[in-house]
Amino acid sequence: MSAAKRVLLVEDNEMNRDMLSRRLAKRGFEVGIAMDGRAGVDMALTGNFDVVLMDMNLPEIDGWEAARMIRAGEKGKRVAIIALTAHAMQGDREKALAAGCDEYDTKPVDFERLLAKIAAALGTKT
């Protein structure tokens, strides 16, 4: 990677936030953090992020609605959104894609699989 890719992690669980942000930073990503859906939408639409990792079960605004709101903004049309959820139910992947997410992954996060999905969203190699 030439310039560090910017990842916005929208996650309300402190342990998940800490683990993912540290591991992403070690891989050379610049990581922004939002702890609820409203802050995630604001940061995604005002920052210059390449990828948004969106927890779907969030306070303030859930991840489904936050993804729709990001997509409605001009900057939101250019950012990749990857949905993350611990409550993987049949149809959730389709629901996430319909809300505007580019990809979907389950928790607990398999970090190598997530990196591959980030790389695919960015059009790069891991």
Question: pLDDT tens for residues 38-77?
Answer: 999 999 999 999 999 999 999 999 999 999 999 998 888 8
Q: What is the pLDDT of residue 76?
A: 85
Q: What is the pLDDT of residue 1?
A: 42
Buried/exposed code over 76-105 (b: 16+ C-beta within 10 A; e: otherwise): beebbbbbbbeeeeeebbeebeebbbbbbb
Q: What is the pLDDT of residue 68?
A: 96
Domains in the chain (CATH in brackets) are 6-122 (3.40.50.2300)
Mean local confidence (pLDDT), 18-35: 97
Q: What is the pLDDT of residue 126?
A: 45
- Residue 97: pLDDT over 60: yes
Strand order in the sheet with 80-85: 30-34, 6-10, 51-55, 80-85, 103-106
Q: What is the pLDDT of residue 4?
A: 84
Q: What is the pLDDT of residue 2?
A: 53
Asked if 24 contacts 7 with a C-beta cutoff of 8 angstroms, the reply is yes
pTM of the entire predicted model: 0.94
Q: What is the pLDDT of residue 43?
A: 97
